[in-house]
Amino acid sequence: MKKYVMFAISAAILNVCVGNMSVATTTSLVIVQDETPEAEILLDKAVEAEAAGNQEALLSSLTAGTAALEKEANADKGSFKDKLLNQVGALQKFAPMVKSGLLKGDVLKKVINTVKMLLAAKRIESALGGSNLLENVGGLTKNLGLMKAGLPALGGDSQRKLGGLLDTAMSSVGNLSKGGMTAKTAEPAVKKQLGGILDFVKEAM
């Protein structure tokens, strides 16, 4: 992920004389800062590389994604830390399988879908620990979507049930962005729905 930061330089850096008039010009400088992509983005690239048969890209993305996942898992002591670290261990075992050509796409996808669900749950839990959900509507929406993307890790009735809970929560979170009394009224219900989703994931996974 590239982050663009604009610094305006207000001081005159060049004087151009035109007749008896001195013209001061200003400019701006754009600095590009590289940031490490989120774990799920790197792991999705690993899935794409596996499907394309690109072993080198697969190993690179898998290694980077695993490292990013481990870093985020260890960032705090939330309820999902141990579950995420278990997935880190599973991903680390894939590296030798990549080198030997034994890693199967369906096995990789299942673990990565599990990672998506647990990462989303961890981030939602963190948001619930904050003082105001209204300030984190974008993050909640993004992570509910991430959890939904990982639903195939469950399968069966659990997948259908959690999918329904996610649909309801996403609709409710949408009310938070409306502001005013609508948002304030919706917040308690959203907290309850999100809490129920986290309990479901803890039990299912």
Query: Looking at residue 132, what is its pLDDT?
Result: 80
Query: Looking at residue 179, what is its pLDDT?
Result: 80
User: Any residues with CB less than 8 A from the CB of 23 and at least 6 apart, and which?
Assistant: 15, 16, 17
In whole angstroms, give the CA distance from residue 87 to residue 115: 7
Query: Looking at residue 203, what is its pLDDT?
Result: 95
Query: Looking at residue 135, what is its pLDDT?
Result: 85
Question: Residue 193 has which token pair?
Answer: 């729905």
Query: Looking at residue 10, what is its pLDDT?
Result: 37
Query: Looking at residue 37, what is its pLDDT?
Result: 85
Query: Looking at residue 134, what is its pLDDT?
Result: 84
Secondary structure (3-state) at 62: helix
Q: Which amino acid is at 163?
A: G
In whole angstroms, give the CA distance from residue 120 to residue 88: 15
Going residue by residue through the chain, which has 205 residues, state the pLDDT in tens, using 9 for 90 and above: 444 443 333 333 334 444 444 444 444 333 333 466 899 999 999 999 999 999 999 999 999 999 999 999 999 889 999 999 999 999 999 999 999 999 999 999 999 999 999 999 999 999 998 768 888 899 999 999 999 999 999 999 999 999 999 999 999 999 888 888 888 888 999 999 999 999 999 999 9
DSSP lists the bridge partners of residue 16 as 23
Query: Looking at residue 35, what is its pLDDT?
Result: 62
Q: Write out 155-169 in H/E/C secondary structure.
A: CHHHHHHHHHHHHHH
Query: Looking at residue 181, what is its pLDDT?
Result: 86
In whole angstroms, give the CA distance from residue 61 to residue 38: 11
